[in-house]
Amino acid sequence: MTAPTTTRQPRVRARRAGFGALLRAEWTKFRTVRGWTIGMIVAVLVTAGIALLDHSSCGGVTAPGGADVPGTGCSAPVGPDGKAVTDAFSFVHRRLDGDGDITVRMASLIGGRGPAGLQPWSKAGLIVKAGTRPGSAYAALIVTAGHGVRMQYDYTGDIKAPPGAVTAAAAPRWLRLVRSGDAITGYQSADGVRWSAAGTVRLHGLPPTVQAGMFATSPASAQGGSTQDGSTQDGSAQGGSAQSLGGSGGSGARTLATARFDHIGLRGAWPPGAWTGTQVGGRPSPDTGFRQAAGTVTVTGSGDIAPYVPAVDGGGVAVERTLLGAFGGLIAVIVVAALFMTAEHRRGLLRVTFTAVPGRGRVLAAKAIVIGSVTFVAGLAGSTAAVLLGERLLRSNGDFVLPAGTFTEIRAVAGTAALLAVAAVLALAVGTILRHGAGAVTAVVTVMVVPYFFASPLSVLPAGVADWLLRVTPAAAFAVQQTTPRYPQVSAPYTPGNGYFPLPPWAGFAVLCGYTVLALGLATVLLRRRDA
Amino acid sequence: MSMRETLHAEWTKLRTVPSTFWLLLAVIVVTVALGLVADAVARCPSAGCGLDPARTSLAGVYLGQAIVAVLAVVAVSGEYGSGLIRVTLTAMPRRAGVLAAKAVTVTGATLSAGVPAVLGSLLAGRLVLPGHGFTAAHGRPPLSPDDGAVLRAAAGTVLYLGLIALLSLGVAAAVRDAAAAIGTVLGLLYLLPLLTTVLGGSRLARHLERLSPMTAGLAVQATTGLRGLPIAPWAGLGVLAAWATAALLIGGLLLHFRDA
């Protein structure tokens, strides 16, 4: 009974050991070449080390004399979901102790003089807010200067009201905001008689006592400045000055919005009292505030109620800035991975390898697995250290690191390691195709680093080209590092130079993977056809 | 062996490697083609649009320089890869002379490709850019050889490519392995400027822009907005020349003292 098992077992083991032995052979080759081990160590050190150069950019600018001026206002309030927010507006409010509603006629919305005029996202209307603390929960029925009537809530929420009877932007319009428990519903009307719903939002955990009333605010003009007027779409990479390099984005000019409300009517649990004016967030200024006369309330405000966007609000540093060292690591990894194959060609070792293992595709697969795994581990070590060190350093410099959320940070770190690993496999495949180390390194660096360089603020190419390059080249994969989303309700230069990639993170990574699969396929075919 | 014979030997080696011709052709084609792409997408809708016509049409150099680097690196590292270097140094024992001869021949070849690449790029810019708002009314007259700044950009860019060849030669002599050498050169060129991003808008970032070989060297292409440059045009090219000299010096010393 035992005889068959003893004869069969070794055979099974031998078959299984085939690829395992191949992997071990390739791993032995890799770890015994001193230069390659040094190359990987260099990759880790560069990836982590460049984060140590992270320098305060927190609104800090270089004064004409050359001294660094420490920034002011290097922080932002944190919204209900833990993300940084912008919360600055003029608030005319009263206490509401439960359910109730407010109805007003908004007679006009006008801007300040000259450059302080209305912006498309200048806004005014009715708001219910948990308190006057910046960053507290809210829901608002908003009339914008250029984007119609909307329901916005908790900074990121934005619902466009269905087109109702009210169309003309300048016409007086009636607004009503109803609070009922957690639910807040906005209505609009052209005449105060026929109402249409603008939207309902639920704010979970909204306290019974809230502040409610009217508000006005207006964001800074979209990236003003003499070099870019009218051409922010295609000229911003060029116009991005040295200041905007570090994410201390130059914000445009301050603007003002003034809204006039009358026919104010309150129903529900409003205790007796008068309207109070509060400047929420931002600095109080003589030209903002509110006036009340004969049943009319006029509010002037400046700022925004929106997610925090570093390209507009300045100061904040996105987590991925600590990962810039991955570019240096990438070059080292590409060199090692290309050599992992081309060195065998050059030394003639490949003939020995193929004599020992005739399955050439399997040799390539084993090499890809070894170089990919080693690079992933090295990349993970480097990028984890970079983020931990970089964030700590930035914070100790007084910089404001944008809270990205744990999952997003892990995605950026692991994504960077995966990017390096796949790029290494790409370099291995290209090295197999070209059989020339220098050629392979140049080719892969050209398609991975140069497009990113063209997308950086240093580039001479218009942002449109950079955008396109970061869609079609393997450099699209750097999108895995982006931790700051773009928001339609904030006008900002969402260019690659400011850290916004055209593709979503995993789609960009998929572009790199696609190229790598193609290159591996071609390499396998060529490896089988050609003499070693 | 006299210097003339050394030069002749190096020239024969460079000339008879088939890749030399294709790489030089690629320098011209890639530089002009990428410049044309930049011209095609550039728009100057109003006065002070912030785009420099010479810089835009010469944008192809950002990629062309990588091919120049390959050419120069292969001229040195190729000999180490095949073991030819031992024959070379046996025949021509004056090692500094060998490196000098290589520098002359490789730089000569680079310049001979750099001239048509730069002239072709500028010609394309002269033809394409005026249709995209680069007009005298917007303060961007067509690129013309009468303009001193355009001449400086043209001559400076050709010299830039020559200096990149010298820098790569020096690095290759020091590092020896082709892939590692090209990685070092491309890292120096593309990575150093990206570091300015990490440094924020600080004084250090400004210094780095002045010191990194690519951003400093390509300042020579500027024809508008000279005051906003991190470094003056010719001074910037001087910085790159200093890099090239340092690389050649280190490469030469290592070549001299090390076993081949």
**Is residue A131 situated within a structural domain?**
yes
Computed over every residue of chain A, the mean pLDDT equals 81
My answer on whether A290 and A349 are in the same domain is: no
pLDDT computed for residue B32 by the predictor:
95
Query: Based on the number of CB atoms within 10 Å of its own CB, is A452 exposed (0-12), middle (13-18) or buried (19 or more)?
Result: buried
pLDDT at B201: 62
Asked if residue A420 and residue A323 are part of one domain, the reply reads: yes
Assign residue A188 the CATH number of its domain.
Answer: 2.60.120.560
Selected for mutation to probe chain A from B76, B184, B190, B211 (highest A CB count within 10 Å) is: B190
Q: Are A238 and B51 within 8 A, CB to CB?
A: yes
Provide the chain A residues 59-98 that lie in CB contact (below 8 A) with chain B. 60-62, 66-68
pLDDT beyond 70 at A222: no
Q: What's the domain count of chain A?
A: 2
User: Do the Cβ atoms of A461 and B38 come within 8 Å?
Assistant: yes
Same domain as A500, residue A414: yes
Query: What mean pLDDT, rounded, does chain B reach?
Result: 86
| A317/B200 Cα distance (integer angstroms) | 10
Query: Is the minimum CB–CB distance between B67 and chain A shorter than 8 Å?
Result: yes
Q: What is the ipTM of this complex?
A: 0.87
Whether residue A250 lies inside any domain: the answer is no
When pLDDT is cut at 50, 70 and 90, the band that residue A224 belongs to is very low
Assigned domain for A344 exists: yes
Contact status of A461 with chain B (Cβ, < 8 Å) = yes
Judge whether A15 lies within some domain.
no
Are A206 and A178 in a shared domain? Answer: yes
Q: In this structure, are A309 and A426 located in the same domain?
A: no
Residues A416 and A342 in one domain: yes
Question: Shortest CA distance to A250 belongs to which of A293, A314, A184?
Answer: A314
Examine the domain organization and report whether A263 and A392 are in the same domain.
no
Same domain, A296 and A334: no
Q: Which residue has the higher pLDDT, A56 or A126?
A: A126
Q: Are strands A183-189 and A173-180 parallel, antiparallel or unpaired?
A: antiparallel
In this structure, are A349 and A206 located in the same domain?
no
What is the C-alpha separation between B243 and B246, in angstroms, rounded?
5
At residue A20, the pLDDT reads 87
Answer with the residue of higher pLDDT: B144 or A38: A38
Which residues of chain B have a CB within 8 Å of the CB of A434? none
CA distance A48 to B198: 13
pLDDT at A264 over 80: yes
Cα A416 to Cα B134: distance, rounded to the nearest angstrom: 41
Which residue in chain A is spatially nearest to B182 when comparing CA positions? A438
- Closest Cα in chain B to A66: B203
Q: Best interface-test mutation with A: which of B23, B199, B215 has the largest number of A CBs within 10 A?
A: B199
More confident residue, B18 or A506: A506
Domain boundary among the residues A286, A313, A340 is at A313
User: In Å, how far is A246's CA from the nearest CA of chain B?
Assistant: 4
pLDDT of residue A41: 92
Q: Is B11 on the interface with A (CB under 8 A)?
A: no
Is A70 part of a structural domain of the chain? no
Which amino acid appears at position B166 of this protein?
A: L
Confidence check: pLDDT of A152 > 90: yes
Residue in A54, A247, A331 closest to B191 by CB: A331
Residues A269, A343, single domain; the answer is no
Over residues A401-412, the pLDDT tens digits come to 888 888 899 999
Residue A461 predicted with pLDDT over 90: no
DSSP B148-164: HHHHHHHHHHHHHHHHH
Is the pLDDT score of A58 beyond 70?
Answer: no
Residue A488 has pLDDT above 50, yes or no: yes
How crowded is residue B96: how many other Cβ atoms within 10 Å of its Cβ?
Answer: 12
- Chain B (76-115) residues lying within 8 Å, Cβ to Cβ, of chain A: 77, 81
The answer on A164 and A28 residing in a single domain is no
Using the predicted structure, report yes or no on whether residue A416 has a pLDDT greater than 90: yes
How many angstroms separate the Cα of B146 from the Cα of each of A138, A147, B149? 64, 50, 9
- Above pLDDT 70, what percent of chain A? 84
Instruction: Domain ranges for chain B, please list them.
Output: 3-257
Assess whether pLDDT exceeds 60 at residue A118.
Answer: yes
Beta strands per DSSP E along A226-272: 257-268
Q: State which residues form the domain around A508.
A: 21-59+317-529
Q: Which of residues 145-174 of B touch A (CB under 8 A)?
A: none
Residues A283 and A327 in one domain: no
